[in-house]
Structure 1
């Protein structure tokens, strides 16, 4: 049951934030209802109009980049997105210890269904994980394949896996709860650290029959790894390196002061406004209703107001393709957890106590994630224009072995979507991986081994039989040639040998088993 905050428990600026928040939520609900009704009425008329205009003015041939951007934008899922670039996706289901079903994706150029069959590929494993309000699709949105880290990893001979958080587009299943239940959405970063990340890593290592993997996280994907590696010491033995793109640990806050004051308010206010299920579930509705140009402009405006991001390192075509796959579902509790971290300026566990924030703050605080205890080597990639990365406090919270690479002019989303990642991000990642796996086989040998492992056993046996038959035929031809040559000089072997004995004699020189 929702509870209204009491008067004494709020400050004046929090009352302003609460009032503005109520206006925003109420206006959004009313507007979405009106627009939905108009959409239902006008959709048939608009569809017929588009068909008539298309027949009257046929669309001109577009450049490959334009067609590719449009195809990625219109793709319904990650399988379609990867097929555009000639890659295939294999889906795997991971059951967490608390009974969530996570769908993770394995990317390869192999034929569907034969990526890991009948024997695992036994290639170096790389596990990539997305950020807040995202899913695995964000890794394959690049219209230029050179800028796609995942595709470059596959081309270099790595076994690439993409994870998904509970509650997002690909992981909305639970063995006991429906996605409409409040209990389904009762999770925060703590649950990602205790269940999603370690259970996914265990599944990947078991399936690939490897002992270790390399973890690459983006944004909240880095925070989940920081938390998981700090609270589960044995997980450090399974991750040989942690590469953090646009790492998030304890952001200072948001760019807009009014919104920043609102998000740092008490969790009870946020739960009162947004409920205890999914955050902004109507975002998908607005994306499907609004024209693409208008939706991209609204999203760019929101990113500029909230985080002061200009997205200038991304071309308009790249923004068109990427923004369509930017949003996915997560819980209100997860967002509240981030607001608590911003308010305390420390990377802490979720605080369930919503009443004693002011009165007992000196005597009680949620525990900090012990990130100093991480033993896995860490490499941080951060942009000096990223408002969500406070690098020095982050380095102070990590072990001394943590390394960093600063990229001038890069914002948060530029780490995966900028037009220059093939110059500033991907080469350094590949260099680090080459150092980690310096003793493994080359890409060509890995590809040959993978192709050999993917062949069915019957096909292998058939090919071995064909090879044996060809060898036998070659031996027979040699014997025939030698036998014919002997007829011209029988005195060398004696006149008592017939043709069959002559063949056996020469065959003994060709095949030592006789």
Structure 2
């Protein structure tokens, strides 16, 4: 019943209710059944599991203010970048079985970037994300790499005094890394090793359900653009509140939100994402992103190229001086790269990881990870068994 009420509230919102009235209404009717860890914020989680968390704000060259978390350690610095629709939280929400905490347990100096548009990085030195929507939200993973990641790498190097750092990126986190190092190749010299977990670059031979959704993408995204929808999954917004409410209700929530909505797109592994974890997961996810970012990924699939954003013929001529957007020059990614693909991943297929491997000049390691879907790289209860040993071996080798 409450889910129906929330849906009606969303309709009221979309027929010109004010954001203030709408959020107030949602706060009264939403009923989130969260675990303790689902209620704790990033800093509280890190503290609970035996470490100290610091927060910094880094201003990019184009004026965005991104929040960077730091878990101090005595070993080399490791920078973590997150996937689409998430932020730094998922790297710590399984406690000692989370990659961020596990790295800190090993003594690494852990840094975590929250990309522009997430709930932690919804700021600009001049632009208002609500009043200047078309301008503020005019970005994709390209800008997250070219600006956010570049500024964060420089900040970490300045703070630590190191000459090079280790880096790990999941899905979109890998996309932005390759966007950066291919277009600003000087950043290759600042990375000892980059671990690309389920990288989002090439999308060949995708499952039928993905093909159907991606093929309808241009129409749906254009409708969103026409309606002035530039921000998706805003924290405490209509969609996110509905997701959190519907997906924290036990067995029914698992069937609807996980088996029916998530597994068909990311891969099926009920042992990796178990029922009891939902009350923690949906306390921290999803996190906001730009409509343009989703459009860019849709273009990658439809054009079958890892290329820059397609603005149409006129826009491309103005932006790039050519009719079609240029491919990212992956031959310029000269830093050491390790690629890990999940055998159960239906979003970042093993095949496409191998395609990426062939396009990069310096892949030092390629591995197919057992019993791992797309989201298992970050959320899975099985990650300490199937994933962490390989990660720690590689970090130690290039540390």
User: Which band: TM-score by shorter chain?
Assistant: 0.7 to 0.9
Separation of aligned partners in 1, 2:173 and 2:136: 21
The aligned counterpart of 1:391 is: 353
1:334 to 280, 293, 296: 293
Q: Does 1:32 align with 2:13?
A: no
Q: Does 1:278 align with 2:231?
A: yes
Alpha carbons of structure 1 residues 106 and 353: separation in structure 2 relative to 1, 3 Å: same
The aligned counterpart of 2:103 is: 153
Alpha carbons of structure 1 residues 319 and 167: separation in structure 2 relative to 1, 3 Å: same
Alpha carbons of structure 1 residues 264 and 250: separation in structure 2 relative to 1, 3 Å: farther
Deviation at 1:265, TM superposition (A): 4.8
Separation of aligned partners in 2, 1:415 and 1:41: 32
Separation of aligned partners in 1, 2:327 and 2:113: 25
Answer with 171-180 or 307-316: which moved more. Answer: 307-316
Alpha carbons of structure 1 residues 82 and 296: separation in structure 2 relative to 1, 3 Å: farther
Alpha carbons of structure 1 residues 78 and 195: separation in structure 2 relative to 1, 3 Å: same
Alpha carbons of structure 1 residues 214 and 291: separation in structure 2 relative to 1, 3 Å: closer
Deviation at 1:260, TM superposition (A): 3.1
Q: Does 1:172 align with 2:172?
A: no
Report SS of the residue matched to 1:419: coil
Alpha carbons of structure 1 residues 406 and 306: separation in structure 2 relative to 1, 3 Å: closer
Q: Which runs of structure 2 are paired with 1:232-311 in the superposition (5 Å)?
A: 232-252=184-204, 253=206, 255-256=208-209, 257-263=211-217, 265=219, 268-272=222-226, 275-281=228-234, 282-287=238-243, 289-290=245-246, 292-293=248-249, 295-300=253-258, 301-311=260-270
Answer with 318-327 or 249-258: which moved more. Answer: 249-258
The aligned counterpart of 1:99 is: 63
Separation of aligned partners in 2, 1:124 and 1:388: 31
Q: Does 1:70 align with 2:35?
A: yes
Deviation at 1:32, TM superposition (A): 2.1
Count residues in correspondence.
369
Report SS of the residue matched to 1:88: coil
Report SS of the residue matched to 1:217: strand
Alpha carbons of structure 1 residues 409 and 310: separation in structure 2 relative to 1, 3 Å: closer
The aligned counterpart of 1:52 is: none
Q: Which runs of structure 2 are paired with 1:340-351 in the superposition (5 Å)?
A: 340-351=299-310
Report SS of the residue matched to 2:377: helix
Alpha carbons of structure 1 residues 30 and 364: separation in structure 2 relative to 1, 3 Å: farther
Separation of aligned partners in 1, 2:128 and 2:207: 33
The aligned counterpart of 1:217 is: 169
**Superposition CA RMSD, Å:** 3.1
The aligned counterpart of 2:381 is: 419
Report SS of the residue matched to 2:262: helix
Deviation at 1:266, TM superposition (A): 8.5
Answer with 260-269 or 150-159: which moved more. Answer: 260-269
The aligned counterpart of 1:448 is: none
- Relative to the length of structure 1, the TM-score reads 0.66
Q: Deviations for 1:106-135, whole angstroms, at most 9, x for unmatched residues?
A: 014xxxxxxxxxxxx764110011110111
The aligned counterpart of 2:16 is: none
Report SS of the residue matched to 1:292: coil
Q: Does 1:208 align with 2:186?
A: no
Separation of aligned partners in 2, 1:42 and 1:233: 47
- Relative to the length of structure 2, the TM-score reads 0.83
The aligned counterpart of 1:90 is: 54
Deviation at 1:289, TM superposition (A): 4.1
Q: Is the 8 A contact 1:266 1:354 kept in 2?
A: no
Q: Which runs of structure 2 are paired with 1:357-376 in the superposition (5 Å)?
A: 364-376=323-335
Alpha carbons of structure 1 residues 122 and 207: separation in structure 2 relative to 1, 3 Å: farther
